[in-house]
A = this chain, B = another copy of it.
Amino acid sequence: MHLNDLPTPCALVDLDRLERNATRMADRAHALGVRLRPHVKTHKCVEAARIQTRSHFGGITVSTLAEARGFAEAGFRDITYAVPIAPQKLTEVVEINSRIDRLSVLVDHMVTISAIEEKARSHAIVLPVWLKIDCGLHRAGVDPESAAALALATRLQNSVDIDFRGVLTHAGQSYDAVDREGALAAALEEHAVTLAFLERLAKANVHVPETSIGSTPTASAVENLDGIDEIRPGNYAFFDVFQNAIGSCTLGDVAFSVLAAVVSVHPEEQRAVIDAGALALSKDPGPTHVDPDCGFGRIVTIEDQHPLPGLRLTSVSQEHGEIEGPGTAALRPGTQLRVLPNHSCLAAACFGNYQVIRGTEVVDEWRPLRGW
Interchain CB contact under 8 A, B345 and A263: no
**A86-B345 CB under 8 A given contacts A282-B282, A333-B109, A333-B112:** no
Binding-face segment, A200-208, A303-311, A317-325: A317-325
Total chain A interface residues with beta-carbon distance under 8 A: 59
In chain A, residues 287-308, which have Cβ atoms closer than 8 Å to a Cβ of chain B?
none
Query: A230 contacts which chain B residues (CB < 8 A)?
Result: none
**A261-B86 CB under 8 A given contacts A282-B278, A284-B278:** yes
Cα(A279)–Cα(B283), bound, Å: 11
Query: A23 contacts which chain B residues (CB < 8 A)?
Result: none
The residue in chain B whose Cβ has the minimal distance to the Cβ of A42 is: B318
Query: A345 contacts which chain B residues (CB < 8 A)?
Result: 318
- Cβ of A370 < 8 Å from any Cβ of B? yes
Interchain CB contact under 8 A, A264 and B333: no
Cα(A32)–Cα(B138), bound, Å: 53
Interchain CB contact under 8 A, A263 and B85: yes
**A108-B269 CB under 8 A given contacts A86-B333, A278-B282, A284-B278:** no
Query: A89 contacts which chain B residues (CB < 8 A)?
Result: 7, 261
Interchain CB contact under 8 A, A86 and B371: no
- Cβ of A275 < 8 Å from any Cβ of B? yes
- Cβ of A351 < 8 Å from any Cβ of B? yes
**A87-B139 CB under 8 A given contacts A282-B278, A349-B279, A371-B351:** no
Interchain CB contact under 8 A, A83 and B275: yes
Interchain CB contact under 8 A, B87 and A333: yes
1/0 per residue, CB under 8 A from B, across A235-273: the answer is 000000000000000000000000001111110010101
Interchain CB contact under 8 A, A322 and B139: yes
CB distance from A243 to the nearest CB of B (A): 14
- Cβ of A141 < 8 Å from any Cβ of B? yes
A–B Cβ pairs within 8 angstroms, 16 of them: A8-B372, A83-B263, A83-B319, A84-B273, A86-B333, A86-B334, A109-B264, A115-B334, A138-B271, A139-B320, A140-B273, A279-B349, A282-B283, A283-B346, A285-B285, A352-B371
Contacts A111-B333, A283-B346 supplied; 11 other A-B pairs, CB < 8 Å: A83-B263, A109-B264, A112-B334, A115-B333, A139-B273, A143-B266, A172-B317, A279-B346, A283-B284, A318-B345, A352-B371
